[in-house]
Amino acid sequence: MQSLTFPPSSLDSHMPKKTLFLILFSISTLFAGLKVPVSDLVFKDRLWFYKESNVPFTGVAFAISNETGTITQQANYIDGLAWGKYYEWWPNGSKKVDGTYRFGLMYGRWKFFYENGKILCAGSYMNGKGHRSTQLVDSIPDEGISGLWTYWDRNGRKVEEGYYNKNGTEKGNWAFWDRDGKKRLGKKIDYNTFKNIGAFKHLDGVFLVTGPMDGLNMVYTQAHGAIRGGRLDGPWTYWDNNGLLSAKKHYDKGTPWGHYTTYHHLGHKLTDGTVKGYDDYGNLIKDGKWLYWDENGIIKEEVHYKDGKRQGLTTYFSMSSNESAKIIYQNGRPWNGEWTIWYPDGNKKESGTYLDGEKQSPWTAWYDNGQKKYVIHYKNSLEHGLYTEWNEDGRLTKDIEYDMGKPASEYLVEYQGEGYTEINRRNGELSGSWIKWHANGKKDEEGLYKYGKKGGAWTGWYKNGEKRYYGKYVDGKPDGQYTELDNKGRLTKNIEYELGSIISEYHILRDENGVTEYHKKNGVLAGKWTRWYSNGNKAEEGTYKNGKRSGEWNGWYRSDKKNYSCVYEDGKRAGNYREWNSKGKKVKDIDYSNGKRIREYLVIRDGSGFMELNKVYGALSGSWTKWYADGKKEEEGKYKSGTKVGTWSRFSMSGTIVEEWNYDNKGRNLYEITYYDNGTVKEYRDFFSKTIQEYNVDGSIKGDKVPFN
**Predicted confidence (pLDDT) per residue in 302-311, tens digit:** 999 999 999 9
Question: How confident is the model at residue 11, as a pLDDT?
Answer: 30
Q: Where are the beta strands (DSSP E) in 512-560?
A: 514-521, 524-533, 538-545, 548-556
Question: Has residue 13 got a pLDDT over 60?
Answer: no
Res 63: pLDDT: 97
3-state DSSP percent of the chain in helix, strand and coil, to 5: 5, 65, 30
Strands 406-416 and 396-403: antiparallel
* Whether residue 534 has pLDDT greater than 90: yes
Q: How many domains does the chain have?
A: 2
| Residue 22 confidence (pLDDT) | 33
Q: Which whole number is the average pLDDT over 144-151?
A: 96
Distance CA 235, CA 669 (A): 125
In the prediction, which pLDDT does 191 show?
Answer: 85
pLDDT at 319: 80
pLDDT at position 213 is 61
At residue 8, the 3 state secondary structure works out as helix
Inside any domain, residue 528? no
Mean pLDDT of the chain, nearest integer? 91
Condensed to tens digits (0 to 9), the pLDDT of residues 225-276 reads 999 999 999 999 999 888 899 999 999 999 999 999 999 999 999 999 999 9
Q: Is residue 684 part of a domain?
A: yes
Q: In this model, does residue 14 exceed pLDDT 60?
A: no
Does the pLDDT at position 321 exceed 80? no
Count other Cβ atoms within 10 Å, centred on residue 82. 25
Which one of 137, 169, 185 terminates a domain?
137
Cα gap 294→279, rounded to integer Å: 26
Q: 6: pLDDT confidence band, cut at 50, 70 and 90? A: very low
Quote the domain boundaries for residue 58.
34-137
pLDDT value of residue 218: 55
- Domain end marker among 111, 137, 163: 137
pLDDT on residue 220: 64
pLDDT tens digits, 688-705: 999 999 999 999 999 999
Long-range contacts of 61-64 (CB under 8 A, 24+ apart): 61/35, 61/36, 61/37, 61/133, 61/134, 62/35, 62/36, 62/37, 62/38, 63/37, 63/38, 63/39, 63/136, 64/37
Q: Span 485-489, mean pLDDT? A: 95
Domain membership flag for residue 76: yes
- pTM of the shown model: 0.56
pLDDT of residue 12: 37
The answer to whether the beta carbons of residues 112 and 122 sit under 8 Å apart is yes
Whole-angstrom distance, CA of residue 188 vs CA of residue 168: 13
Dump pLDDT digits (tens) for 327-341.
999 999 999 998 898
Q: Is residue 495 a part of any domain in this protein?
A: no
CA pair distance 675, 650, nearest whole angstrom: 10
Helical residues (DSSP H) of 14-78, grouped into ranges: 17-32
Tens of pLDDT, residue by residue over 385-434, are: 999 999 999 999 999 999 999 999 999 999 998 899 999 999 889 999 99
517 belongs to a structural domain:
no
245, 178 Cβ separation under 8 angstroms: yes
Pairing, β 372-379 against β 358-366: antiparallel
Question: Measured between alpha carbons, how far is 249 from 261 in angstroms, rounded to an integer?
Answer: 6
| Cβ atoms < 10 Å from Cβ of 597 | 15
What's the pLDDT band for 33 if we cut at 50, 70, 90? low
What does the pLDDT read at residue 145? 95
φ/ψ bin of 265: left (φ > 0), alpha (ψ from -120 to 50), beta (otherwise) = alpha
Of the three residues 122, 137, 152, the one that is the final residue of a domain is 137
Band of the pLDDT at 344, cuts 50, 70, 90?
confident
In a domain, 600, yes or no: no
Cβ neighbourhood burial of 411 (10 Å; 0-12, 13-18, 19+): middle
**Contact in structure between 674 and 692 (CB atoms under 8 Å):** no
- Residue 665 belongs to domain with CATH number: 3.90.930.1
pLDDT band at 353 (very low <50, low <70, confident <90, very high): very high
* Predicted pLDDT of residue 23: 36
In the prediction, which pLDDT does 602 show?
93
Confidence tier at 201 by pLDDT (50, 70, 90):
confident
pLDDT class for 219, splitting at 50, 70, 90? low
Query: The CATH number of the domain where 113 resides is what?
Result: 2.20.110
pLDDT for residue 195: 84
> Residue 658, CB half-sphere, CA atoms under 13 Å: how many?
10
489/6: higher pLDDT? 489
Q: How far apart are CA 261 and CA 271, in angstroms?
A: 6
Q: pLDDT band at residue 28, thresholds of 50, 70 and 90?
A: very low
CA–CA distance, 430 with 412 (Å, rounded to integer): 10
Q: What is the pLDDT of residue 20?
A: 32
Instruction: Give tens-digit pLDDT for 578-622.
Output: 999 999 999 999 999 988 999 999 999 888 889 999 999 999 999
Give the single-character DSSP code of 214. Answer: B
Give the pLDDT of residue 253. 93
Q: Tell me what pLDDT residue 5 has.
A: 25
pLDDT at 346 over 50: yes
Domain contains 378 = no
What confidence tens digit (pLDDT) does each residue in 110-127 have?
Answer: 999 999 999 999 999 999
Residue 631 in any domain: the answer is: yes
